[in-house]
């Protein structure tokens, strides 16, 4: 799924090399960004770390043999495949152009593309999220080995636990919102379309009540991975363990209260905007706590720059930047100007790619020997980490400037004055990032690897990688 979403992104960037659009018709462009968003958010970012590292590490880290409900876990995998099949079918049979946000009444009345199929795919996949979340919560509560108290748990588990809470509580709201869109499209029940008595802004409230917490579903597990990596590769105890752990929970709680910051200019009341802005700033604090504690962990540590650590350091830098630019969007006055521009695009890609994807890659590299018993080629992996970091910045940094200058998002054609920055961004996306990176990443991970004998020595170098019980006492 990641490669499908990625291919859509490269096509968009290539298309935007010329102001009038170089590659596709506007309608196709709209389908590309919709597919990119739907696939990346619902089928890659949300399940990425929980479904891979989570399923593997959660039982291991608490000293259990498996998750509490292994069969439920298998079911959630099949549910995910079913949902993905629906969405892929929509993609193959003509695509959908609502944007991943499905805003009404555009999605419920005005478009004739495969809205229902796509929404159904997302709806079904939501159940796999809920099942996985439930499974993690029950496992962490009930199956910890004797002596594995809450405050001895590896930090990764705290973050997975917080993300699971969001999974279980927020996903149903998205399911309901999409269900109502379907109801209005098929049976013309007036829910969102004002022409038949609905309220178009209601959808935005429902959608963001899920989709803002969902941002933290994507980033919290990444924060957990980075907490482990930073601790391991600086050979220190995590600084401020309890603060990192509780800040995960604080993020999960606050994430439910800030959806209104997506609606500053939606015609919601100015007082609703006022409250949302205040709460969004409050949400910045636990994130800042994490960054400070990671930095303090690094301080005077004996740091080794192995590939996973490079990803973790990249995460800290890029996430900090994404977080700080979030303050501009949370602030009411600047938020009005920057809303729905490329500034927003750059901001959430710094969090989602610079944060969640970097952590995912770092985690996969870190635990790869534990999972497969084989080691990747460390030189290539380090090289890939650096290229990703450079290519990522080249792609998305110019988008901050574009957004500040006022280029709106989701534009298939744009005024000529934005071309220089757009070409820079496209160059970053197409050449550095995709071409080199994906191939390098594949070769470094999938390449048949020969050094089984090094695994034993690795266990000494990376205490967090192996036995979790030992790790928790390090």
Residues that bind other proteins (CB under 8 A): 26-27, 30, 97, 99, 101, 103, 105-106, 110-111, 193-195, 199-201, 240, 243, 265-267, 270, 273-274, 277-278, 281-282, 284-285, 288-289, 292-293, 296, 327, 330-337, 339-341, 405-406, 408-415
Give the side-chain half-sphere CA count within 13 A for 127.
Answer: 16
- 3-state SS assignment for residue 267: coil
Query: Rounded to the nearest whole angstrom, what is the least distance from the CB of residue 351 to other proteins in the complex?
Result: 17
Pair of tokens at residue 71: 């069969």
Residues in the chain: 474
Instruction: Indicate the residue among 69 and 281 with the shorter CB distance to other proteins.
Output: 281
Q: By the 8 A CB rule, do 95 and 35 touch? A: yes
Instruction: Indicate the residue among 92 and 270 with the shorter CB distance to other proteins.
Output: 270
Handedness of CA 98, 100, 104, 108 (dihedral sign): positive
CA 176 to each of CA 203, 209, 214: distance values in angstroms, whole numbers, following the listed order: 10, 11, 15
Query: Rounded to the nearest whole angstrom, what is the least distance from the CB of residue 87 to other proteins in the complex?
Result: 19
For residue 162, give the nearest of 227, 216, 103 by alpha carbon: 216
Instruction: Indicate the residue among 75 and 111 with the shorter CB distance to other proteins.
Output: 111
Q: CA-to-CA distance for 382 and 444, rounded, in angstroms?
A: 10
Query: Rounded to the nearest whole angstrom, what is the least distance from the CB of residue 34 to other proteins in the complex?
Result: 9
Instruction: Indicate the residue among 337 and 454 with the shorter CB distance to other proteins.
Output: 337
Instruction: Indicate the residue among 264 and 367 with the shorter CB distance to other proteins.
Output: 264
Instruction: Indicate the residue among 272 and 469 with the shorter CB distance to other proteins.
Output: 272
Query: Rounded to the nearest whole angstrom, what is the least distance from the CB of residue 119 to other proteins in the complex?
Result: 16
Instruction: Indicate the residue among 110 and 305 with the shorter CB distance to other proteins.
Output: 110
Query: Rounded to the nearest whole angstrom, what is the least distance from the CB of residue 15 to other proteins in the complex?
Result: 11
Query: Rounded to the nearest whole angstrom, what is the least distance from the CB of residue 254 to other proteins in the complex?
Result: 12
Query: Rounded to the nearest whole angstrom, what is the least distance from the CB of residue 297 to other proteins in the complex?
Result: 12
Q: CA-to-CA distance for 126 and 123, rounded, in angstroms?
A: 5
Query: Rounded to the nearest whole angstrom, what is the least distance from the CB of residue 345 to other proteins in the complex?
Result: 12
Beta bridge partners of 408: 341
Which stretches within 2-69 are classed as H helix?
Answer: 2-15, 26-38, 46-49, 55-62
- 3-state SS assignment for residue 341: strand
- Count Cβ atoms below 10 Å from residue 453 Cβ, excluding itself: 8
Instruction: Indicate the residue among 267 and 302 with the shorter CB distance to other proteins.
Output: 267
b/e map 35-64, b = 16+ CB within 10 Å: bbbbbbbbbbbbbbbbbbbbbebbbbbbbb
Query: Rounded to the nearest whole angstrom, what is the least distance from the CB of residue 352 to other proteins in the complex?
Result: 19
For residue 227, give the nearest of 147, 297, 302 by alpha carbon: 297
């Amino acid at each position: 799924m990641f490669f499908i979403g990625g291919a859509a992104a490269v096509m968009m960037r290539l298309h935007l090399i010329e102001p009038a659009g170089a590659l596709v018709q506007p309608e196709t462009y709209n389908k590309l960004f919709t597919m990119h968003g739907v696939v990346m958010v619902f089928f890659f970012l949300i399940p990425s770390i929980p479904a891979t590292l989570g399923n593997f590490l959660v039982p291991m880290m608490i000293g259990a043999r498996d998750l509490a409900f292994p069969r439920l876990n298998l079911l959630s995998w099949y549910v995910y495949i079913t949902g993905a099949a629906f969405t892929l079918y929509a993609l193959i049979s003509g695509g959908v152009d609502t944007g991943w946000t499905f805003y009404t009444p555009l999605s419920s009345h005005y478009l004739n593309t495969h809205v229902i199929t796509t929404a159904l795919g997302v709806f079904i996949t939501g159940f796999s999220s809920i099942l996985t979340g439930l499974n993690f919560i029950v496992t962490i509560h009930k199956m910890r080995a004797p002596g594995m108290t809450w405050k001895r748990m590896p930090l990764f588990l705290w973050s997975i636990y917080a993300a699971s809470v969001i999974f279980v509580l927020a996903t149903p709201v998205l399911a309901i919102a999409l269900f109502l869109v379907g109801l209005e499209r098929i049976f013309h029940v007036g829910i969102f379309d004002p022409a038949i008595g609905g309220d178009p802004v209601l959808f935005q409230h429902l959608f963001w009540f899920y989709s803002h917490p969902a941002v933290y579903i994507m980033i919290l597990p990444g924060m957990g991975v980075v907490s482990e990596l930073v601790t391991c590769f600086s050979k220190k105890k995590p600084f401020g363990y309890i603060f990192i752990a509780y800040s995960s929970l604080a993020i999960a709680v606050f994430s439910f209260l800030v959806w209104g910051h997506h609606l500053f200019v939606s015609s919601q009341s100015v007082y609703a905007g006022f409250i949302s802005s205040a709460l969004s700033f409050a949400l910045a604090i636990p994130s800042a706590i994490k960054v400070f504690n990671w930095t303090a962990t690094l301080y005077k540590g004996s740091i080794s720059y192995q590939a996973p650590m490079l990803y973790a350091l990249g995460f800290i830098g890029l996430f900090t930047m994404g977080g700080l630019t979030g303050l501009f969007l949370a602030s009411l006055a600047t938020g009005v100007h920057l809303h729905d521009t490329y500034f927003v695009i750059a901001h959430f890609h710094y969090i989602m790619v610079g944060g969640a994807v970097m952590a995912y890659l770092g985690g996969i590299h870190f635990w790869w020997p534990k999972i497969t018993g084989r080691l990747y080629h460390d030189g290539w992996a380090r090289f890939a980490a650096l290229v990703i970091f450079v290519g990522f910045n080249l792609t998305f940094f110019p988008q901050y400037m574009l957004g500040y200058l006022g280029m709106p998002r989701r534009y298939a054609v744009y005024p000529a004055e934005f071309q220089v920055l757009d070409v820079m961004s496209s160059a970053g996306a197409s050449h550095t990032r995709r071409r080199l990176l994906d191939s390098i990443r594949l070769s470094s991970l999938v390449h048949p690897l020969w050094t089984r004998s090094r695994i034993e020595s690795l266990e000494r170098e990376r205490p967090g990688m192996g036995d979790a019980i030992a790790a928790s006492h390090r």
